[in-house]
């Protein structure tokens, strides 16, 4: 600072402060996830963030910490989340299975033209749930004959079912779909096993059963907005690598905790 006047020193200090603030802002990751509970992976409804927010939420927090990035987490309804990610209004989101439509507007950890399963958050199975008193005759290959199948709005399983000729009815969430099943407005409800099994466990009087065989199994990923990924490739790679490690170490430990135990 030798030879500089106080005004010049003040300007340099102000510039340094602005540079520091910009750097801090650049290392804050704006990450969003769904507003519907998917216990034990995402807990609480709406914009709630309970003390134990869900195993995958804790994985995301740990990955950000491992990559030394500040994390801004928020929850959005499914359709709004997809729309805002499509328009680069957020940096990252979870947890998403892969399809070509989604690949067009956010980035997965890819290898050889396909998502790299080494960096998945987790793998989940989908099954049909029906009334025990009137289960459709499901053999693993006769979806068109079953009648209307309920799904959660915005979930990719809907497209999978339609591609196989099924008649699909979307509803807001799992609770509404189970109500429609009870009222016999749908023949079955297609959902992730951990969601359906928890409902069966907590509502034995409902008389709902899981049908065999399962519909499918899907890998789920942390995804990035295309613009953010283009501008931050090294940080994206760090976060995906952290997720790969945490899936093998932290996730099993979290799922053993009493508040995350699955039925």
Which segment of 8-17, 40-49, 97-106, 128-137 scores lowest on mean pLDDT?
8-17
pLDDT tens for residues 169-180? 999 889 999 999
Residue 201 burial (C-beta neighbours within 10 Å; 0-12, 13-18, 19+):
exposed
DSSP state of 41: T
Check: CB of residue 221 under 8 Å from CB of residue 95: yes
- Who contacts 226 (Cβ-Cβ below 8 Å, separation ≥6)? 88, 105, 106, 107
The dihedral over CA atoms of 16, 92, 52, 201, expressed in degrees to the nearest 10, equals 180
Q: Is 131 helix (H, G, I), strand (E, B) or coil?
A: strand
CA-CA distance, 160 to 214, in Å (whole number)? 13
Q: What are phi and psi of 6, to 5 degrees?
A: -65, -35
pLDDT at 26 over 80: no
- Who contacts 149 (Cβ-Cβ below 8 Å, separation ≥6)? 128, 143, 161, 166, 167, 168, 169, 186, 187, 188, 189, 190
Return the structure tokens found at 89.
């209004």
pLDDT tens for residues 44-80? 988 888 999 999 999 999 999 999 999 999 999 988 9
Q: Is 252 helix (H, G, I), strand (E, B) or coil?
A: helix
Return the structure tokens found at 44.
């609480």
Check: CB of residue 91 under 8 Å from CB of residue 229: no
Q: Which CATH class is domain 125-217?
A: alpha beta
- Pick among 3.40.50.10490, 3.40.50.1820, 3.40.50.720, 3.40.190.10: CATH of 29-121+219-260: 3.40.190.10
pLDDT tens for residues 115-155? 999 999 999 999 999 999 999 999 999 999 999 999 998 88
pLDDT at 5 over 60: no
How confident is the model over 28-47, as a mean pLDDT?
Answer: 92
Strand segments (E) across the chain: 28-34, 70-76, 92-96, 106-107, 110-111, 114-115, 122-131, 148-152, 167-171, 188-192, 208-210, 216-225
CATH 3.40.190.10 region(s) of the chain?
A: 29-121+219-260, 125-217
pLDDT value at residue 11:
56
Check: CB of residue 68 under 8 Å from CB of residue 26: no
pLDDT tens for residues 182-233? 999 999 999 989 889 889 988 999 999 999 999 999 999 999 999 999 999 9
Q: How far is CA 119 from the centre of its chain?
A: 14
pLDDT tens for residues 229-244? 999 999 999 999 999 9
CA distance to 23, 223, 242, 249, per residue, from 59 (Å): 25, 14, 9, 10
Give the position of tokens 């940096």.
Answer: 91
CA-CA distance, 246 to 260, in Å (whole number)? 16
Q: How far is CA 169 from the centre of its chain?
A: 21
Give the position of tokens 């992976």.
Answer: 41
pLDDT value at residue 66:
97
pLDDT value at residue 167:
97
């Amino acid at each position: 600072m030798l030879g500089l006047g106080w005004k010049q020193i003040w300007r340099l200090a102000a510039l340094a402060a602005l540079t520091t603030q910009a750097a801090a802002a650049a290392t804050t990751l704006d990450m969003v996830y769904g507003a519907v509970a998917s216990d034990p992976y995402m807990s609480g409804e709406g914009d709630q963030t309970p003390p134990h927010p869900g195993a995958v939420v804790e994985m995301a927090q740990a990955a950000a910490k491992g990559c030394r990035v500040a994390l801004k987490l928020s929850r959005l309804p499914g359709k709004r989340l997809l729309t805002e990610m499509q328009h680069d209004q957020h940096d990252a989101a979870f947890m998403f299975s892969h399809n070509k439509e989604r690949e067009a507007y956010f980035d997965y950890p890819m290898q050889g033209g396909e998502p790299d399963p080494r960096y998945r958050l987790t793998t989940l199975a989908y099954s049909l749930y029906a009334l025990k008193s009137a289960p459709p005759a499901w053999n693993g290959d006769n979806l068109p004959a079953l009648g209307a199948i309920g799904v959660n709005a915005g979930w990719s399983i809907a497209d999978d079912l339609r591609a196989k000729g099924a008649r699909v009815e979307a509803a807001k969430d799992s609770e509404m779909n189970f109500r429609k099943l009870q009222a016999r407005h749908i023949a079955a409800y297609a959902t992730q096993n951990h969601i359906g099994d928890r409902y069966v466990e907590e509502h034995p009087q409902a008389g709902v059963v899981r049908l065999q065989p399962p519909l499918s199994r899907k890998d789920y990923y942390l995804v990035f907005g295309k613009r953010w990924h283009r501008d931050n490739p090294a940080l994206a790679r760090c976060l995906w690598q952290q997720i790969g490690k945490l899936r093998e170490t932290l996730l099993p430990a979290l799922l053993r905790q009493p508040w995350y135990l699955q039925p």
